[in-house]
């Protein structure tokens, strides 16, 4: 029922993702949300974000930022990062997820989306057909409409975690046979 919102992976932070492993698995494009995924809401790119994108470029990834924010916000964040970006993306609409892949020269099989919200970031990626990684929000201070969505996300995440537990039990049984 809620599985249309389930991410492919759920991790504590963007900064703990094993990007080298993703590259070895054949992924070549990374699409990122900005606020509460890479930095606290409204903040410029910090040193950690700058180092991350330097590392990703060195690995060989193409990267694109996709944000529902207006261009001044996205452009300001991108000053130190210097990757492609799409602003005013209207996530979860699939149009700009596709545009990001077009910019990077990737497709749904070689692109991963990383974001902190189920109902915009993850759902849009799933609707587009690309892999998604949900990260925990960096900072609790958020706009009221996001705070309200977080309550609903907790319900979906409860069922997501429960489904993972069931999958592990089924997998364990398979190894017995």
What's residue 176's pLDDT?
A: 45
Cα 48–Cα 12–Cα 159 angle in degrees, nearest 5: 155
Name the residue with higher pLDDT: 155 or 64: 64
- pLDDT tens figures, 16-63: 999 999 999 999 999 999 999 999 988 999 999 999 999 999 999 999
The dihedrals phi and psi of 7, each to the nearest 5 degrees, come to: -75, 165
For 114, 119, 157, 173, the CA distances from 145, given in Å and listed in that order, are 21, 12, 18, 43
**9 beta partners:** 133
- What is the C-alpha separation between 117 and 108, in angstroms, rounded? 20
What's residue 162's pLDDT?
A: 83
What's residue 113's pLDDT?
A: 98
Tokens 């790119």 identify what position?
Answer: 45
Question: What is the DSSP secondary-structure string of 93-143?
Answer: -SHHHHHHHHHHT--TTSEEEEES-IIIIIHHHHHHT-EEEEE--S-S---
Kindly report the CATH number that applies to the domain delimited by 3-176. Answer: 3.40.50.1000
Confidence band (pLDDT; 50, 70, 90) for 173?
very low
What's residue 29's pLDDT?
A: 98
What are the boundaries of each domain within the chain?
Answer: 3-176
The chain-wide mean pLDDT, for the chain, equals 89
The share of the chain scoring above pLDDT 70, in percent, equals: 86
The pTM assigned to this predicted structure is 0.84
CA 130 to chain centre: 11
Confidence band (pLDDT; 50, 70, 90) for 152?
confident
- pLDDT tens figures, 87-127: 999 999 999 999 999 999 999 999 999 999 998 999 999 99
Name the DSSP letter for residue 44: P
Name the residue with higher pLDDT: 85 or 170: 85
């Amino acid at each position: 029922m809620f599985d249309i919102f389930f991410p492919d992976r759920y991790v504590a932070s963007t900064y703990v993702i094993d990007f080298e492993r993703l590259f070895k698995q054949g992924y070549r494009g990374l699409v990122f949300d900005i606020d509460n995924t890479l930095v606290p809401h409204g903040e410029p790119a910090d040193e950690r974000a700058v180092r991350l994108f330097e590392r990703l470029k060195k690995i060989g990834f193409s990267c694109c930022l996709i944000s529902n924010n207006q261009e001044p916000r996205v452009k300001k964040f991108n000053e130190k990062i210097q990757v492609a970006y799409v602003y005013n993306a209207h996530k979860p609409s699939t149009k700009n997820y596709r545009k990001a892949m077009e910019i990077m020269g990737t497709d749904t099989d070689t692109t991963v989306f990383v974001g902190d919200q189920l109902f915009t970031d993850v759902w849009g990626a799933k609707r587009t057909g690309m892999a998604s990684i949900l990260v925990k929000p960096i900072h609790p201070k958020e706009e009221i409409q996001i705070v309200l969505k977080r309550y609903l996300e907790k319900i979906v995440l409860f069922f997501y975690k429960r489904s993972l537990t069931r999958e592990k039990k089924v997998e364990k049984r398979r190894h017995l046979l």
